Amino acid sequence: MIYPLPLEKGYRIGVTAPSDGIAKEVDFARFDSAVKHFYELGYPVTETAHVRRSEKGRSCDGNTRAKELLELVQDDQVRVIIAASGGDYLVEMLSHLDLEVLKDNPKWMQGFSDITGLSFTVTTNLDIATIYANNFGSFGMKNWHNSLVQNIRILEGQDIVQESFDFFQDGFIERITGLEEFAADKEVQWKILHPSEGKEKDEMMLSGRAIGGCLDVLLNLVGTRFDTTKKFVEKYQSDGILWYLESFALGSESLVRGLWQLKEAGWFQNAVGFIFGRPCFYHTDTDTTYEEAIISAIGELGLPIILEADIGHKPPQLTMMNGAIATVYSKDGKGNITFKRR
Q: How many domains does the chain have?
A: 2
Residue 149 and residue 191 in one domain: no
pLDDT computed for residue 194 by the predictor: 86
pTM: 0.97
Residue 171 and residue 271 in one domain: yes
Residue 1 lies in a domain: no
Residue 216 and residue 117 in one domain: no
CA atoms within 13 A on the CB side of 262: 26
Residue 57 lies in a domain: yes
For residue 78, pLDDT beyond 70: yes
Sign of the dihedral through C-alpha 208, 213, 216, 220 = negative
Query: Domain ends where: 125, 159, 193?
Result: 159
pLDDT computed for residue 275 by the predictor: 98
How would residue 147 be classed by pLDDT, with cut points 50, 70 and 90?
Answer: very high
Residue 240 lies in a domain: yes
Residue 171 and residue 149 in one domain: no
pLDDT computed for residue 197 by the predictor: 73
Query: Domain ends where: 133, 159, 185?
Result: 159
Residue 183 lies in a domain: yes
Q: At residue 56, what are phi and psi to the nearest 5 degrees? A: 55, 40
Residue 144 and residue 180 in one domain: no
For residue 38, pLDDT beyond 80: yes
For residue 198, pLDDT beyond 90: no
pLDDT computed for residue 201 by the predictor: 73
Residue 51 and residue 173 in one domain: no
How would residue 196 be classed by pLDDT, with cut points 50, 70 and 90?
Answer: confident
Residue 115 and residue 191 in one domain: no
Share of the chain above pLDDT 70, in %: 99
Residue 141 and residue 178 in one domain: no
Residue 153 and residue 194 in one domain: no
Residue among 85, 84, 86, 19 at smallest CA distance from 58: 19
How would residue 202 be classed by pLDDT, with cut points 50, 70 and 90?
Answer: confident
Residue 187 and residue 217 in one domain: yes
Q: What CATH number is attached to the domain comprising 95? A: 3.40.50.10740
pLDDT in tens, 223-260: 999 999 999 999 999 999 999 999 999 999 999 999 99
Q: Which helix (H) or strand (E) holds 306?
A: strand 305-309
List, in sequence order, every residue forming a beta bridge with 201; answer none if it has no partner.
192
Mean pLDDT of 179-202: 88
Residue 98 and residue 234 in one domain: no
Residue 6 lies in a domain: no
Mean pLDDT of 277-296: 96
pLDDT computed for residue 199 by the predictor: 63
Q: What CATH number is attached to the domain comprising 321? A: 3.50.30.60
Residue 3 lies in a domain: no
Q: Check if the beta carbon of residue 335 is closer than 8 Å to that of residue 164.
A: yes
**Domain that includes residue 214, residue range:** 167-340
Residue 173 and residue 310 in one domain: yes
Q: Check if the beta carbon of residue 310 is closer than 8 Å to that of residue 163.
A: no
Mean pLDDT of 1-7: 98
Residue 126 lies in a domain: yes
Mean pLDDT of 188-210: 88
Query: Domain ends where: 126, 159, 192?
Result: 159
Q: Which residues contact 259 (CB under 8 A, 6 or more apart)?
A: 215, 293, 294, 297, 298
pLDDT computed for residue 63 by the predictor: 98
Residue 210 lies in a domain: yes
For residue 177, pLDDT beyond 70: yes
pLDDT computed for residue 85 by the predictor: 98
Q: Within a 10 A sphere around the Cβ of 47, how many other Cβ atoms?
A: 18
